[in-house]
Structure 1
Protein backbone atom coordinates (compact mmCIF):
# COMPACT_ATOMS: atom_id res chain seq x y z
CA UNK A 1 0.00 0.00 0.00
CA UNK A 2 1.37 3.37 -0.97
CA UNK A 3 1.42 6.58 0.98
CA UNK A 4 -2.03 8.09 1.13
CA UNK A 5 -2.36 11.73 0.17
CA UNK A 6 -6.08 12.39 0.19
CA UNK A 7 -9.64 11.23 -0.15
CA UNK A 8 -11.69 10.86 -3.29
CA UNK A 9 -15.48 11.17 -3.25
CA UNK A 10 -16.88 8.25 -5.25
CA UNK A 11 -20.43 8.57 -6.48
CA UNK A 12 -22.64 5.50 -6.77
CA UNK A 13 -25.37 5.97 -9.34
CA UNK A 14 -28.42 3.75 -9.41
CA UNK A 15 -31.11 4.04 -12.05
CA UNK A 16 -34.53 3.72 -10.45
CA UNK A 17 -37.81 2.57 -11.98
CA UNK A 18 -38.54 6.19 -12.86
CA UNK A 19 -35.21 6.46 -14.70
CA UNK A 20 -33.80 8.87 -12.17
CA UNK A 21 -30.38 8.52 -10.57
CA UNK A 22 -29.57 8.18 -6.91
CA UNK A 23 -26.12 9.51 -6.10
CA UNK A 24 -24.32 7.98 -3.14
CA UNK A 25 -21.01 9.48 -2.09
CA UNK A 26 -18.34 7.35 -0.47
CA UNK A 27 -14.83 8.55 0.25
CA UNK A 28 -11.96 6.40 -0.99
CA UNK A 29 -8.23 6.94 -0.79
CA UNK A 30 -5.39 6.98 -3.28
CA UNK A 31 -1.63 6.71 -3.30
CA UNK A 32 0.85 8.50 -5.55
CA UNK A 33 0.59 6.07 -8.44
CA UNK A 34 -2.64 4.20 -7.94
CA UNK A 35 -6.31 4.60 -7.20
CA UNK A 36 -7.69 2.01 -4.77
CA UNK A 37 -11.14 0.92 -5.90
CA UNK A 38 -12.21 -2.61 -4.89
CA UNK A 39 -14.58 -4.50 -7.15
CA UNK A 40 -17.50 -3.82 -4.87
CA UNK A 41 -17.73 -0.38 -6.49
CA UNK A 42 -19.67 -2.25 -9.17
CA UNK A 43 -22.48 -3.20 -6.83
CA UNK A 44 -25.62 -1.23 -6.18
CA UNK A 45 -26.65 -0.46 -2.62
CA UNK A 46 -30.06 -2.10 -3.02
CA UNK A 47 -28.67 -5.39 -4.32
CA UNK A 48 -27.56 -8.28 -2.19
CA UNK A 49 -24.27 -9.88 -3.10
CA UNK A 50 -24.87 -13.08 -5.11
CA UNK A 51 -21.56 -14.48 -3.95
CA UNK A 52 -18.92 -13.66 -1.36
CA UNK A 53 -16.33 -13.38 -4.11
CA UNK A 54 -16.88 -11.22 -7.16
CA UNK A 55 -14.26 -10.99 -9.89
CA UNK A 56 -15.47 -8.65 -12.64
CA UNK A 57 -12.99 -7.14 -15.07
CA UNK A 58 -14.50 -3.76 -15.95
CA UNK A 59 -13.21 -0.71 -17.71
CA UNK A 60 -14.36 2.65 -16.41
CA UNK A 61 -14.20 5.94 -18.18
CA UNK A 62 -13.55 8.49 -15.46
CA UNK A 63 -13.29 12.25 -15.58
CA UNK A 64 -10.31 13.72 -13.74
CA UNK A 65 -9.37 17.17 -12.62
CA UNK A 66 -6.17 18.48 -11.04
CA UNK A 67 -7.29 21.30 -8.81
CA UNK A 68 -8.84 19.35 -5.95
CA UNK A 69 -5.80 18.23 -3.94
CA UNK A 70 -2.52 19.76 -2.82
CA UNK A 71 -0.28 17.19 -4.47
CA UNK A 72 -1.41 17.83 -8.05
CA UNK A 73 -2.56 14.23 -8.35
CA UNK A 74 -5.41 13.09 -10.61
CA UNK A 75 -8.61 12.68 -8.64
CA UNK A 76 -11.80 10.97 -9.59
CA UNK A 77 -14.56 13.42 -10.40
CA UNK A 78 -17.96 13.47 -8.83
CA UNK A 79 -19.37 11.18 -11.51
CA UNK A 80 -18.64 8.00 -13.39
CA UNK A 81 -19.64 7.51 -17.00
CA UNK A 82 -20.99 4.09 -17.99
CA UNK A 83 -18.67 2.11 -20.23
CA UNK A 84 -20.19 -1.35 -20.03
CA UNK A 85 -22.71 -3.57 -18.37
CA UNK A 86 -21.64 -6.28 -15.98
CA UNK A 87 -23.28 -9.58 -15.25
CA UNK A 88 -22.85 -10.74 -11.67
CA UNK A 89 -24.44 -14.14 -11.19
CA UNK A 90 -27.96 -13.81 -12.61
CA UNK A 91 -28.14 -10.05 -12.10
CA UNK A 92 -27.06 -7.40 -14.59
CA UNK A 93 -25.93 -4.07 -13.28
CA UNK A 94 -24.50 -0.89 -14.68
CA UNK A 95 -22.92 2.13 -13.10
CA UNK A 96 -23.04 5.64 -14.48
CA UNK A 97 -24.09 9.24 -14.30
CA UNK A 98 -24.09 12.30 -16.46
CA UNK A 99 -20.98 14.47 -16.16
CA UNK A 100 -20.99 18.24 -16.29
CA UNK A 101 -19.48 19.49 -19.57
CA UNK A 102 -16.70 21.46 -17.83
CA UNK A 103 -15.10 18.63 -15.84
CA UNK A 104 -11.99 18.36 -18.00
CA UNK A 105 -10.40 15.62 -20.03
CA UNK A 106 -11.61 12.04 -19.96
CA UNK A 107 -9.15 9.30 -19.03
CA UNK A 108 -9.53 5.54 -19.07
CA UNK A 109 -8.64 3.37 -16.10
CA UNK A 110 -8.41 -0.40 -16.46
CA UNK A 111 -9.28 -2.35 -13.32
CA UNK A 112 -8.00 -5.90 -13.42
CA UNK A 113 -8.99 -8.79 -11.22
CA UNK A 114 -10.16 -7.24 -7.95
CA UNK A 115 -11.73 -9.40 -5.27
CA UNK A 116 -14.37 -8.38 -2.74
CA UNK A 117 -13.56 -10.01 0.58
CA UNK A 118 -16.15 -12.11 2.36
CA UNK A 119 -17.48 -10.14 5.33
CA UNK A 120 -20.47 -12.40 5.98
CA UNK A 121 -19.17 -13.34 9.44
CA UNK A 122 -20.18 -9.86 10.62
CA UNK A 123 -23.85 -10.65 10.04
CA UNK A 124 -25.98 -12.02 12.86
CA UNK A 125 -26.91 -15.67 13.21
CA UNK A 126 -30.62 -15.92 12.43
CA UNK A 127 -31.02 -18.60 15.11
CA UNK A 128 -29.70 -16.23 17.79
CA UNK A 129 -30.83 -12.93 16.30
CA UNK A 130 -32.51 -11.58 19.44
CA UNK A 131 -29.47 -12.30 21.62
CA UNK A 132 -27.17 -10.80 18.99
CA UNK A 133 -29.16 -7.55 18.90
CA UNK A 134 -29.11 -7.36 22.70
CA UNK A 135 -25.32 -7.58 22.67
CA UNK A 136 -25.09 -4.94 19.95
CA UNK A 137 -27.23 -2.64 22.08
CA UNK A 138 -24.95 -3.30 25.05
CA UNK A 139 -21.91 -2.36 22.95
CA UNK A 140 -23.55 0.84 21.72
CA UNK A 141 -24.71 1.76 25.22
CA UNK A 142 -21.08 1.58 26.37
CA UNK A 143 -20.28 4.45 24.00
CA UNK A 144 -22.67 6.81 25.82
CA UNK A 145 -23.72 8.58 22.62
CA UNK A 146 -25.72 11.79 22.83
CA UNK A 147 -27.06 14.19 20.21
CA UNK A 148 -23.84 16.21 20.12
CA UNK A 149 -21.54 13.20 19.67
CA UNK A 150 -19.29 12.70 16.68
CA UNK A 151 -19.11 8.95 16.22
CA UNK A 152 -16.83 6.70 14.17
CA UNK A 153 -17.69 3.05 13.52
CA UNK A 154 -14.93 0.82 12.14
CA UNK A 155 -15.56 -2.49 10.33
CA UNK A 156 -19.05 -3.37 11.48
CA UNK A 157 -22.19 -4.99 10.17
CA UNK A 158 -25.04 -2.97 8.69
CA UNK A 159 -27.17 -4.05 11.65
CA UNK A 160 -24.77 -2.36 14.03
CA UNK A 161 -24.88 0.86 12.01
CA UNK A 162 -28.68 0.70 12.03
CA UNK A 163 -28.67 0.70 15.82
CA UNK A 164 -26.09 3.49 16.07
CA UNK A 165 -28.19 5.67 13.76
CA UNK A 166 -31.08 5.29 16.20
CA UNK A 167 -28.89 6.95 18.85
CA UNK A 168 -29.04 10.16 16.75
CA UNK A 169 -25.42 11.36 16.94
CA UNK A 170 -24.59 14.70 15.36
CA UNK A 171 -22.17 12.96 12.98
CA UNK A 172 -21.68 9.30 12.10
CA UNK A 173 -18.67 8.17 10.08
CA UNK A 174 -18.47 4.52 8.99
CA UNK A 175 -15.09 3.09 8.00
CA UNK A 176 -14.95 -0.21 6.13
CA UNK A 177 -12.85 -2.06 3.57
CA UNK A 178 -15.90 -3.10 1.57
CA UNK A 179 -17.47 -0.63 -0.84
CA UNK A 180 -20.45 -2.97 -1.11
CA UNK A 181 -21.15 -2.73 2.62
CA UNK A 182 -20.72 1.05 2.54
CA UNK A 183 -23.00 1.35 -0.47
CA UNK A 184 -25.73 -0.51 1.40
CA UNK A 185 -25.35 1.84 4.35
CA UNK A 186 -25.34 4.92 2.14
CA UNK A 187 -28.48 3.74 0.39
CA UNK A 188 -30.35 3.74 3.70
CA UNK A 189 -28.75 6.75 5.39
CA UNK A 190 -27.69 9.56 3.10
CA UNK A 191 -26.39 11.69 5.98
CA UNK A 192 -23.96 9.01 7.20
CA UNK A 193 -20.38 9.63 6.10
CA UNK A 194 -18.61 6.62 4.59
CA UNK A 195 -14.87 6.09 4.25
CA UNK A 196 -13.55 3.13 2.25
CA UNK A 197 -10.16 2.09 3.52
CA UNK A 198 -8.21 1.73 6.74
CA UNK A 199 -8.82 3.53 10.02
CA UNK A 200 -5.31 4.97 10.24
CA UNK A 201 -5.82 6.88 6.98
CA UNK A 202 -9.08 8.59 7.93
CA UNK A 203 -8.54 12.38 7.70
CA UNK A 204 -9.14 14.58 10.72
CA UNK A 205 -11.76 16.75 9.00
CA UNK A 206 -14.57 14.83 10.74
CA UNK A 207 -12.99 15.17 14.17
CA UNK A 208 -12.51 15.54 16.96
CA UNK A 209 -14.34 12.27 17.65
CA UNK A 210 -16.31 11.69 20.85
CA UNK A 211 -17.03 7.98 20.43
CA UNK A 212 -15.14 5.33 18.44
CA UNK A 213 -16.42 1.79 17.96
CA UNK A 214 -13.75 -0.71 16.93
CA UNK A 215 -16.41 -3.30 16.24
CA UNK A 216 -14.05 -5.88 14.73
CA UNK A 217 -10.49 -4.99 15.68
CA UNK A 218 -8.99 -8.36 14.53
CA UNK A 219 -9.66 -7.38 10.90
CA UNK A 220 -7.32 -4.37 11.12
CA UNK A 221 -3.92 -5.17 9.55
CA UNK A 222 -2.01 -2.78 11.81
CA UNK A 223 -0.26 -3.06 15.19
CA UNK A 224 -2.36 -2.11 18.19
CA UNK A 225 0.08 0.68 19.02
CA UNK A 226 -0.46 2.27 15.59
CA UNK A 227 -4.23 2.10 16.00
CA UNK A 228 -4.12 3.92 19.35
CA UNK A 229 -1.65 6.46 18.03
CA UNK A 230 -4.18 7.31 15.32
CA UNK A 231 -7.06 7.51 17.79
CA UNK A 232 -5.08 9.82 20.07
CA UNK A 233 -4.80 12.26 17.17
CA UNK A 234 -8.50 12.02 16.28
CA UNK A 235 -10.31 11.93 19.63
CA UNK A 236 -11.60 14.74 21.81
CA UNK A 237 -10.71 14.92 25.53
CA UNK A 238 -12.86 12.39 27.38
CA UNK A 239 -13.68 10.43 24.23
CA UNK A 240 -14.72 6.81 24.61
CA UNK A 241 -13.26 3.98 22.54
CA UNK A 242 -15.25 0.75 22.53
CA UNK A 243 -13.60 -2.49 21.36
CA UNK A 244 -15.98 -5.40 20.97
CA UNK A 245 -16.86 -8.81 19.63
CA UNK A 246 -20.52 -9.78 20.18
CA UNK A 247 -19.67 -13.51 20.19
CA UNK A 248 -16.41 -13.40 22.09
CA UNK A 249 -12.94 -14.86 21.77
CA UNK A 250 -14.04 -18.46 21.22
CA UNK A 251 -16.15 -17.57 18.18
CA UNK A 252 -13.32 -15.41 16.85
CA UNK A 253 -10.96 -18.40 16.76
CA UNK A 254 -13.42 -20.31 14.57
CA UNK A 255 -13.96 -17.29 12.34
CA UNK A 256 -10.23 -16.81 11.91
CA UNK A 257 -9.86 -20.36 10.57
CA UNK A 258 -12.69 -19.77 8.09
CA UNK A 259 -11.63 -16.27 7.01
CA UNK A 260 -7.82 -16.11 7.33
CA UNK A 261 -7.51 -13.46 4.62
CA UNK A 262 -9.75 -11.05 6.56
CA UNK A 263 -9.17 -11.82 10.24
CA UNK A 264 -5.49 -11.24 10.88
CA UNK A 265 -5.13 -10.93 14.67
CA UNK A 266 -6.67 -11.86 18.01
CA UNK A 267 -8.52 -9.77 20.56
CA UNK A 268 -6.03 -8.15 22.95
CA UNK A 269 -5.83 -9.36 26.54
CA UNK A 270 -6.20 -6.87 29.37
CA UNK A 271 -2.51 -6.52 30.22
CA UNK A 272 -1.45 -5.94 26.61
CA UNK A 273 -4.26 -3.49 25.99
CA UNK A 274 -3.62 -1.56 29.18
CA UNK A 275 0.06 -1.11 28.37
CA UNK A 276 -0.49 0.03 24.78
CA UNK A 277 -3.42 2.29 25.64
CA UNK A 278 -1.53 4.02 28.46
CA UNK A 279 1.23 5.00 26.04
CA UNK A 280 -1.34 7.10 24.17
CA UNK A 281 -3.28 8.55 27.12
CA UNK A 282 -6.12 6.00 27.14
CA UNK A 283 -7.33 4.31 30.32
CA UNK A 284 -9.44 1.16 30.55
CA UNK A 285 -12.83 1.97 32.08
CA UNK A 286 -14.41 -1.48 31.63
CA UNK A 287 -13.06 -4.85 30.50
CA UNK A 288 -15.24 -7.90 29.79
CA UNK A 289 -13.65 -11.00 28.25
CA UNK A 290 -16.11 -13.87 28.47
CA UNK A 291 -16.32 -16.96 26.27
CA UNK A 292 -19.30 -15.54 24.39
CA UNK A 293 -18.77 -11.79 24.66
CA UNK A 294 -15.89 -9.30 24.51
CA UNK A 295 -16.27 -5.65 25.44
CA UNK A 296 -13.67 -3.05 26.39
CA UNK A 297 -14.30 0.63 27.07
CA UNK A 298 -11.41 3.09 27.17
CA UNK A 299 -11.40 6.81 27.97
CA UNK A 300 -9.07 9.32 26.40
CA UNK A 301 -7.28 11.86 28.58
CA UNK A 302 -5.75 14.57 26.45
CA UNK A 303 -1.99 14.72 26.87
CA UNK A 304 -0.54 17.81 28.51
CA UNK A 305 1.26 20.22 26.22
Structure 2
Protein backbone atom coordinates (compact mmCIF):
# COMPACT_ATOMS: atom_id res chain seq x y z
CA UNK A 1 0.00 0.00 0.00
CA UNK A 2 1.37 3.40 -0.96
CA UNK A 3 2.46 5.63 1.87
CA UNK A 4 0.62 8.89 2.39
CA UNK A 5 2.24 12.13 3.42
CA UNK A 6 0.89 13.40 6.72
CA UNK A 7 0.59 17.02 7.79
CA UNK A 8 1.44 17.41 11.45
CA UNK A 9 -0.04 20.56 13.05
CA UNK A 10 1.28 21.66 16.43
CA UNK A 11 -0.73 21.42 19.60
CA UNK A 12 -0.39 20.87 23.28
CA UNK A 13 -2.91 19.22 25.59
CA UNK A 14 -4.58 21.35 28.22
CA UNK A 15 -2.85 19.66 31.17
CA UNK A 16 0.44 21.16 30.01
CA UNK A 17 -0.90 24.71 30.21
CA UNK A 18 -0.45 26.55 33.53
CA UNK A 19 -3.64 28.26 34.81
CA UNK A 20 -3.04 32.01 35.17
CA UNK A 21 -3.97 33.72 38.45
CA UNK A 22 -5.94 36.92 37.95
CA UNK A 23 -5.72 39.69 40.53
CA UNK A 24 -8.24 42.54 40.37
CA UNK A 25 -6.69 45.97 39.76
CA UNK A 26 -8.17 49.41 40.37
CA UNK A 27 -9.78 50.82 37.25
CA UNK A 28 -7.49 53.89 37.28
CA UNK A 29 -4.32 51.78 37.15
CA UNK A 30 -5.23 49.56 34.18
CA UNK A 31 -2.77 49.79 31.29
CA UNK A 32 -3.14 48.45 27.75
CA UNK A 33 -1.03 45.37 27.12
CA UNK A 34 1.52 45.47 24.32
CA UNK A 35 1.78 42.34 22.19
CA UNK A 36 5.22 40.73 22.13
CA UNK A 37 6.49 38.84 19.07
CA UNK A 38 6.51 35.10 19.49
CA UNK A 39 9.75 33.16 19.16
CA UNK A 40 9.83 30.22 16.73
CA UNK A 41 8.76 27.00 18.40
CA UNK A 42 11.63 24.51 18.49
CA UNK A 43 10.59 20.87 18.70
CA UNK A 44 10.92 17.47 17.18
CA UNK A 45 8.83 14.34 16.97
CA UNK A 46 9.91 10.92 18.17
CA UNK A 47 9.39 7.73 16.19
CA UNK A 48 6.05 6.24 17.24
CA UNK A 49 3.68 3.55 15.93
CA UNK A 50 1.38 4.69 13.14
CA UNK A 51 -1.62 4.72 15.48
CA UNK A 52 0.06 6.75 18.21
CA UNK A 53 0.03 10.51 18.50
CA UNK A 54 3.34 12.36 18.02
CA UNK A 55 5.07 13.38 21.24
CA UNK A 56 7.77 15.88 22.06
CA UNK A 57 11.24 14.37 22.26
CA UNK A 58 14.94 15.06 21.86
CA UNK A 59 15.43 17.70 19.18
CA UNK A 60 17.81 17.50 16.20
CA UNK A 61 20.45 20.23 16.09
CA UNK A 62 19.66 23.65 14.63
CA UNK A 63 15.99 22.94 13.76
CA UNK A 64 13.12 25.39 14.23
CA UNK A 65 9.87 24.18 12.67
CA UNK A 66 6.30 25.43 12.86
CA UNK A 67 4.55 22.96 10.54
CA UNK A 68 5.76 20.41 8.03
CA UNK A 69 4.74 17.46 5.89
CA UNK A 70 6.40 14.19 6.90
CA UNK A 71 6.89 11.31 4.45
CA UNK A 72 6.80 7.71 5.62
CA UNK A 73 10.35 6.27 5.67
CA UNK A 74 9.50 3.38 8.01
CA UNK A 75 9.68 0.78 5.21
CA UNK A 76 13.50 1.06 5.37
CA UNK A 77 13.85 0.41 9.09
CA UNK A 78 14.26 -3.37 8.92
CA UNK A 79 17.98 -3.90 8.36
CA UNK A 80 19.09 -6.31 5.65
CA UNK A 81 21.54 -9.14 6.21
CA UNK A 82 24.36 -7.23 4.47
CA UNK A 83 24.44 -4.22 6.78
CA UNK A 84 27.67 -5.33 8.48
CA UNK A 85 29.29 -5.77 5.07
CA UNK A 86 28.44 -2.16 4.22
CA UNK A 87 29.81 -0.95 7.55
CA UNK A 88 33.04 -2.88 7.01
CA UNK A 89 33.52 -1.11 3.67
CA UNK A 90 33.94 2.16 5.56
CA UNK A 91 37.10 0.88 7.30
CA UNK A 92 36.15 2.79 10.45
CA UNK A 93 38.49 3.54 13.34
CA UNK A 94 38.00 5.28 16.72
CA UNK A 95 39.38 8.46 15.10
CA UNK A 96 36.92 8.42 12.16
CA UNK A 97 34.74 11.42 11.39
CA UNK A 98 31.59 9.96 9.86
CA UNK A 99 28.69 11.46 7.93
CA UNK A 100 25.56 9.31 7.46
CA UNK A 101 23.08 10.52 4.83
CA UNK A 102 19.46 9.30 5.08
CA UNK A 103 20.32 6.66 7.72
CA UNK A 104 17.82 4.47 9.54
CA UNK A 105 17.81 4.29 13.32
CA UNK A 106 18.95 0.66 13.10
CA UNK A 107 21.93 1.68 10.94
CA UNK A 108 23.07 4.27 13.49
CA UNK A 109 22.63 1.76 16.29
CA UNK A 110 24.66 -0.89 14.45
CA UNK A 111 27.42 1.57 13.54
CA UNK A 112 27.88 2.80 17.11
CA UNK A 113 27.75 -0.73 18.51
CA UNK A 114 30.33 -2.19 16.13
CA UNK A 115 32.57 0.78 15.27
CA UNK A 116 32.82 3.64 17.78
CA UNK A 117 34.08 6.81 16.09
CA UNK A 118 35.20 10.33 17.01
CA UNK A 119 32.24 12.06 15.34
CA UNK A 120 28.99 10.87 13.81
CA UNK A 121 26.76 13.33 11.95
CA UNK A 122 23.36 12.19 10.65
CA UNK A 123 21.47 14.15 7.98
CA UNK A 124 17.98 13.21 6.87
CA UNK A 125 14.84 14.69 5.33
CA UNK A 126 12.67 12.94 7.95
CA UNK A 127 12.22 14.70 11.28
CA UNK A 128 10.81 11.46 12.73
CA UNK A 129 14.00 9.56 11.92
CA UNK A 130 16.25 12.33 13.25
CA UNK A 131 14.27 12.63 16.48
CA UNK A 132 14.47 8.88 17.04
CA UNK A 133 18.22 8.86 16.44
CA UNK A 134 18.79 11.87 18.71
CA UNK A 135 16.67 10.46 21.51
CA UNK A 136 18.49 7.12 21.48
CA UNK A 137 22.00 8.50 20.85
CA UNK A 138 22.43 12.05 22.11
CA UNK A 139 26.08 12.12 21.01
CA UNK A 140 25.04 11.97 17.33
CA UNK A 141 24.78 15.40 15.68
CA UNK A 142 21.58 15.51 13.61
CA UNK A 143 20.67 17.92 10.81
CA UNK A 144 17.63 18.27 8.58
CA UNK A 145 17.88 17.96 4.79
CA UNK A 146 15.12 20.40 3.91
CA UNK A 147 12.81 19.07 1.23
CA UNK A 148 15.25 16.63 -0.32
CA UNK A 149 17.12 17.67 -3.46
CA UNK A 150 14.74 20.52 -4.24
CA UNK A 151 14.93 22.19 -0.84
CA UNK A 152 17.20 24.84 0.63
CA UNK A 153 19.50 22.13 1.96
CA UNK A 154 19.88 20.75 -1.56
CA UNK A 155 19.47 17.21 -0.29
CA UNK A 156 23.23 17.11 0.29
CA UNK A 157 25.80 18.32 2.81
CA UNK A 158 25.06 22.05 2.50
CA UNK A 159 22.48 21.34 5.22
CA UNK A 160 25.30 20.40 7.62
CA UNK A 161 27.07 23.41 9.20
CA UNK A 162 30.57 24.05 7.89
CA UNK A 163 32.12 23.54 11.32
CA UNK A 164 31.62 19.83 10.65
CA UNK A 165 34.09 18.91 7.91
CA UNK A 166 37.09 16.70 7.15
CA UNK A 167 34.86 13.62 7.02
CA UNK A 168 36.86 10.49 6.27
CA UNK A 169 33.84 8.20 5.85
CA UNK A 170 30.46 9.00 4.30
CA UNK A 171 27.63 6.44 4.26
CA UNK A 172 24.93 7.14 1.67
CA UNK A 173 22.27 4.89 3.15
CA UNK A 174 19.41 5.45 0.69
CA UNK A 175 20.49 7.35 -2.41
CA UNK A 176 17.17 6.83 -4.33
CA UNK A 177 15.35 8.94 -1.72
CA UNK A 178 17.72 11.92 -1.72
CA UNK A 179 16.36 13.68 -4.81
CA UNK A 180 19.82 14.54 -6.14
CA UNK A 181 22.05 13.16 -8.90
CA UNK A 182 25.13 11.10 -8.11
CA UNK A 183 27.33 13.75 -9.71
CA UNK A 184 25.84 16.56 -7.60
CA UNK A 185 26.17 14.48 -4.45
CA UNK A 186 29.83 13.64 -5.06
CA UNK A 187 30.61 17.27 -5.92
CA UNK A 188 29.03 18.41 -2.67
CA UNK A 189 30.85 15.79 -0.60
CA UNK A 190 34.21 16.74 -2.14
CA UNK A 191 34.00 20.10 -0.35
CA UNK A 192 33.73 18.46 3.07
CA UNK A 193 35.78 15.26 2.85
CA UNK A 194 39.44 14.74 3.69
CA UNK A 195 41.81 13.30 1.10
CA UNK A 196 41.40 9.53 0.91
CA UNK A 197 37.87 9.62 2.36
CA UNK A 198 35.57 6.72 1.52
CA UNK A 199 32.05 7.25 0.23
CA UNK A 200 29.99 4.10 0.78
CA UNK A 201 26.74 4.04 -1.19
CA UNK A 202 24.70 0.95 -0.39
CA UNK A 203 21.31 -0.72 -0.23
CA UNK A 204 21.52 -3.69 2.12
CA UNK A 205 18.26 -5.18 0.79
CA UNK A 206 19.32 -5.04 -2.87
CA UNK A 207 17.40 -4.47 -6.07
CA UNK A 208 14.84 -7.19 -5.42
CA UNK A 209 13.29 -5.08 -2.66
CA UNK A 210 14.14 -1.76 -4.27
CA UNK A 211 11.74 -2.28 -7.18
CA UNK A 212 8.91 -3.04 -4.75
CA UNK A 213 9.79 0.03 -2.69
CA UNK A 214 9.66 2.21 -5.79
CA UNK A 215 6.15 0.95 -6.63
CA UNK A 216 4.79 1.31 -3.10
CA UNK A 217 6.52 4.54 -2.02
CA UNK A 218 6.90 6.79 -5.10
CA UNK A 219 6.92 9.92 -2.93
CA UNK A 220 10.15 8.74 -1.25
CA UNK A 221 11.86 6.71 -3.99
CA UNK A 222 12.47 9.33 -6.67
CA UNK A 223 15.52 7.97 -8.55
CA UNK A 224 17.28 4.75 -9.50
CA UNK A 225 20.39 3.13 -8.07
CA UNK A 226 23.39 4.33 -10.13
CA UNK A 227 24.89 1.87 -12.59
CA UNK A 228 28.66 1.32 -12.75
CA UNK A 229 28.87 3.34 -15.99
CA UNK A 230 26.99 6.27 -14.48
CA UNK A 231 29.11 6.21 -11.32
CA UNK A 232 32.35 6.10 -13.31
CA UNK A 233 31.34 9.25 -15.16
CA UNK A 234 30.31 11.05 -11.95
CA UNK A 235 33.43 9.89 -10.11
CA UNK A 236 35.94 10.95 -12.76
CA UNK A 237 34.52 14.46 -12.88
CA UNK A 238 34.82 14.93 -9.12
CA UNK A 239 38.19 13.29 -8.27
CA UNK A 240 36.89 9.97 -6.98
CA UNK A 241 38.00 6.43 -7.75
CA UNK A 242 35.62 3.47 -7.57
CA UNK A 243 37.30 0.81 -5.42
CA UNK A 244 34.40 -1.65 -5.09
CA UNK A 245 31.09 -2.18 -6.87
CA UNK A 246 28.44 -4.84 -6.26
CA UNK A 247 25.01 -4.88 -7.91
CA UNK A 248 23.19 -8.07 -6.94
CA UNK A 249 19.51 -8.87 -6.32
CA UNK A 250 20.10 -8.96 -2.54
CA UNK A 251 22.82 -6.30 -2.16
CA UNK A 252 23.98 -3.05 -3.76
CA UNK A 253 27.33 -1.49 -2.82
CA UNK A 254 29.51 1.20 -4.36
CA UNK A 255 32.67 2.36 -2.58
CA UNK A 256 34.42 5.47 -3.90
CA UNK A 257 37.64 6.99 -2.59
CA UNK A 258 38.19 10.74 -2.76
CA UNK A 259 41.50 11.58 -4.45
CA UNK A 260 41.37 15.34 -3.86
Scaled by the length of structure 2, the TM-score of the pair is 0.74
Deviation of 1:250 (Å): 2.7
Aligned partners of 2:86 and 2:202 also within 8 Å: yes
Q: What's 1:57 paired with?
A: 9
- Counterpart for residue 185 of structure 1: 133
Where relative contact order (Cα < 8 A, 6+ residues apart) is larger, the structure is 2
Instruction: Label 1:230 to 1:93 Cα distance change in 2 as closer, same or farther (>3 A).
Output: closer
Matches within 5 A, 1:155-170: 155-166=102-113, 167-170=115-118
| Per-residue deviation, 1:116 | 1.2
* Matching of residue 252 in structure 1 with residue 204 in structure 2: no
- Name the CA shift for 1:110/1:283 in 2 (closer, same or farther; >3 Å): closer
Matched with 2:73 is: 119
Inter-partner Cα distance in structure 2 for 1:152 and 1:228:
13
Match of 2:85 in 1: 138
Looking at structure 1, the residues matched to 54 and 256 of structure 2 have their Cα atoms a distance apart, in angstroms, of 46
Query: Among 217, 233, 243, which residue is 1:285 paired with?
Result: 243
Distance 1:170 1:94 in 2: 28
Partner Cα separation in structure 2 for residue 110 and residue 144 of structure 1: 40
Match of 1:238 among 184, 189, 196: 196
Question: Judging changes above 3 Å, is the alpha-carbon distance between structure 1 residues 152 and 63 closer, same or farther for their aligned structure 2 residues?
Answer: farther
Instruction: Identify if the C-alpha distance between structure 1 residues 62 and 283 changes in structure 2 by more than 3 Å, giving closer, same or farther.
Output: farther
Residue 206 of structure 1 aligns to a residue in which SS?
Answer: coil
Q: Deviations over 1:220-249 (max 9, x none)?
A: 111221111101111100000000011112
After TM superposition, give the deviation of residue 273 of structure 1 in Å: 0.1
Q: How many residues align?
A: 213
Match of 2:95 among 133, 145, 148: 148
Query: Could you say if the C-alpha distance between residues 92 and 231 of structure 1 is closer, same or farther in structure 2, counting changes exceeding 3 Å?
Result: closer
Structure 2 gap segments, 5+ residues each: 13-35, 44-49, 59-64, 146-154
Tell which structure's C-alpha radius of gyration is larger: 2
* Structure 1 runs not aligned, ≥5 long: 1-50, 65-75, 81-87, 97-108
Root-mean-square deviation (Å): 2.8
Q: What's the CA shift string for 1:21-58, capped at 9, x where partnerless?
A: xxxxxxxxxxxxxxxxxxxxxxxxxxxxxx97543322
Verify the 8 A CA contact 2:166 2:192 in the aligned structure 1: yes
Quote the offset at 1:180 in angstroms: 1.1
Name the SS for the 2:231 alignment partner. Answer: helix
Q: Deviations over 1:181-202 (max 9, x none)?
A: 1111111111100011132422
d(CA) in 1 for partners of 2:123, 2:73: 14
Encode CA deviations 1:94-146: one digit per residue, 9 max, x unaligned: 689xxxxxxxxxxxx963xx32101022111xxxx6xx2x4111100000010
CA distance in 1, matches of 2:105, 2:37: 29
Q: Contact 2:168–2:197 (CA<8 Å) still a contact in 1?
A: yes
* Structure-2 separation of matches of 1:249 and 1:215: 14
TM-score (norm 1): 0.64
